[in-house]
Structure 1
Amino acid sequence: MNLRLVLAATALASANAFAAPATLLPPGPVYLKFSGQEQIAVNGASTWSDKKEINWGVFIMSTIEEGSVSRPHDQIDPTGDIFFTNGLSGGQVTGMFYGIERGAASPTNPFPATKGYMDLYWRDLSSMTKTSLSTGAAGVRCGYSCAKGYTEGTFLARLFFDTGMDTGNKLNTIVGNTVPSSNGFSGQADSYASVDMSTPGLWSYQLNSNYFHSAEGTRDLRFKNSYNYNRRWNGGTNILGARVDDPGQAYALPEPGALSLTGLALLGMGAALRRRRA
């Protein structure tokens, strides 16, 4: 290798040494906690002009911790063993949910919703500014699936809200127990999500577990979030703001690289044993 190539390789290694690589998920039960801000359309309004969208928002993951299975294929609880904390691990996990539409009537779902996506990103704080939830809604959204400060960096995964939570109507993807009102509101929403493998990201394979069993089949993640009125994020008479807090549950698979290394190690051990026997 000539001197020019050596210097270039050294410079590249030095630059990468200061970068904060996106965190990977440990295999097994995982409990994710994040907070965010959102807008909810009521009285026939829409939160995106050429879509039927009634709900979108942004979020920052506060912690990720290892979990324990409380009910197999149904509930994962936190253990307190935190391996990622917002900003203290060299980066942030941020994201956006969008495309959620008005759901079909259901006897078990006071505020039904259907469809919707959630995109997750790793924000490397060695090269990007830290995102804060203190800003208002104005100027945050830059497109249907774009939010400034939230959809930038390394793409981790795209999830879609999936059916199975609403036993009263299988078309709905989200069960909301309180109808939002400008008089103020506080409620809880339950949902399942699955990984969109047609748009792969760093976490897509790990999250694509089919671990949770629902009335409509297996799902990859489970969410139980609270939503509370926040007028600072209002967007007009029929666009209500809310604060959202979302504990998420997942069962992460080993990342493909680790599986490949394990396979190579086993092959090597087998070859060594065969040579010893010979």
Structure 2
Amino acid sequence: MKNRIAFLLAGAALSCGAHAAPATALPPGPAYLKYSGQEQIAINGASTWTDGKEINWGVFIMTTMEEGSVNTPHDQIDPTGDIFFVNGLSGGQVTGMFYGIERGTPSATNPFPATRGYMDLYWRDLSTMSKTTLAASVTGVRCGYSCANGYTQGTFLARLFFDTGMDVGNPLNTIVGTTVPSSNGFSGQADSYASVDMSAQGLWSYHLNSNYFHTALGARDLRFKNSYNYNRRWNGGTDVLGARVDDPGQAYVLPEPGALPLMGLALLGMGAALRRRQRG
């Protein structure tokens, strides 16, 4: 199946020539996704959006995507396979935005928690759009609640929502943060699960909707473990601090919807042929 997808991708690229570059297909099975971005984090009761609730938003660029292997079933995927996407070298980019993340309830094991939040993914076709780089400053980037210039334009791939299950001590927190940000400088790690919002259909929505990761609160589709480090160039108003974020994401990609039925038909046909041969 993986070879078939690679062959179809190569054929599509040759047939398109200098025209539109199709969005990268996701080979079925374990996948390891790496991306980097910039973000704003609000502390001390501040907010990063006019609703007064959001405390975190940011933008990102997918740097590489590679096939992985299962370390612990339904829990951990490692990057051990072939890289099938590199930023800008596959005819386009995967860019996006995370937003709507709100303040969670802290505990001894989760000093900087968060709840709620979304992540939107887009394919940026470089044959028709300019290449995006990580913005050095926050000026002019955000154009709406779920809009970021240079990151949320192009072909919509999927909408994810940060899901519960990572904080075993709180069923409402969606993100476990190790370090409370401070203007004196900070460096921390954030762990989370995400699930696909199937009400916002994109090219990758079906493939990422795997329910692969098992938690005490139910099955989830993706797992993230990101580092965040202070970046004053993305500071906002009072108590809104900038940060650089680097994330590896883990997913288990489902095959094309028609692949399994076709495989079943093929096996059925092989069985019928074998029976005819035995009768002959």
TM-score normalised by length of structure 1: 0.90
Identity over aligned pairs, percent: 83
Task: Give, in whole Å, the separation in 2 of the partners of 1:105 and 1:134.
Answer: 31
Alignment of 1:114 onto 2:115: yes
Paired letter, 1:173: T
Q: 2:11 corresponds to which residue? A: none
| Aligned partners of 1:108 and 1:167 also within 8 Å | no
The aligned counterpart of 1:214 is: 215
1:163 aligned partner? 164
SS at match of 2:80: strand
Residue pairs, 1:264-275, within 5 angstroms: 265-266=266-267, 269=270
Asked if the contact 1:98/1:145 (under 8 Å) is kept, the reply is yes
Matches within 5 A, 1:36-185: 36-185=37-186
Determine the structure 1 residue equivalent to 2:24.
23
Cα distance between partner residues in 2 of 1:18 and 1:178: 46
- Classify 1:139/1:255 alpha carbon distance in 2 versus 1 (closer, same or farther; 3 Å): same
Q: Is the CA contact (8 Å cut-off) linking 2:46 and 2:52 kept in structure 1?
A: no
Q: Deviations over 1:251-270 (max 9, x none)?
A: 11102243454355456556
Instruction: Determine the C-alpha separation between the residues in 1 that align with 2:147 and 2:112.
Output: 26
**Any residues of structure 2 matched to 1:247-258 within 5 Å, and which?**
247-258=248-259
- CA distance in 2 between counterparts of 1:166 and 1:240 reads 24
Q: How far off is 1:167 after superposition?
A: 1.4
Cα distance in structure 1, aligned partners of 2:56 and 2:40: 6
Distance 1:260 1:81 in 2: 27
Deviations, residues 37-73 of structure 1 (Å, cap 9, x unaligned): 0000111111001240000000000000000111111
Q: Secondary structure at the match of 1:47?
A: coil
Q: Is the 8 A contact 2:38 2:135 kept in 1?
A: no
Counterpart of 1:79 in 2: which secondary structure? Answer: coil
Unaligned 5+ segments in structure 1 are 1-12
1:193 maps to a residue whose letter is: A
Q: What SS class does the counterpart of residue 207 from structure 2 fall into?
A: helix
Corresponding residue number in structure 1 for 2:33: 32
CA root-mean-square deviation: 2.0
CA distance in 2, matches of 1:267, 1:211: 28
Whole-Å separation in 1 of the counterparts to 2:206 and 2:266: 21
- Amino acid of the structure 2 residue aligned with 1:246: D
Letter in 2 for 1:19: A
Cα pair 1:207 1:250 within 8 Å, conserved: yes
Question: Quick check: 2:18–2:127 contact (8 Å CA) kept in 1?
Answer: no
Cα separation, 2, equivalents of 1:106 and 1:51: 23
Q: Which amino acid in 2 is paired with 1:87?
A: G
1:225 shift after superposition: 0.1
- After superposing the two structures, state which structure 1 stretch, 22-31 or 131-140, moved more: 131-140
1:128-187 deviation line (CA, Å, top 9, x unaligned): 110000431111111100111111111111100000101121110000000000000000
Greater mean deviation of Cα atoms: 105-114 or 88-97: 105-114
Verify the 8 A CA contact 1:66 1:78 in the aligned structure 2: yes
User: 2: distance between equivalents of 1:211 and 1:14?
Assistant: 35
The residue matched to 2:259 in structure 1 has which SS?
helix
Encode CA deviations 1:74-122: one digit per residue, 9 max, x unaligned. 1101015101000001110001000000001323100010000000111
Equivalent-residue separation in structure 1 for 2:157 and 2:260 (angstroms): 19
* Structure-1 separation of matches of 2:63 and 2:15: 29
Q: Indicate the SS of the match to 1:205.
A: helix
Which consecutive residues of structure 2, in runs of 5 or more, have no partner in the other structure? 1-13
Contact 2:69 2:81 in 1 (8 A): no
Q: Is the 8 A contact 2:194 2:222 kept in 1?
A: yes
One-letter amino acid matched to 2:63? S
Residue 18 of structure 1 aligns to a residue whose secondary structure is: coil
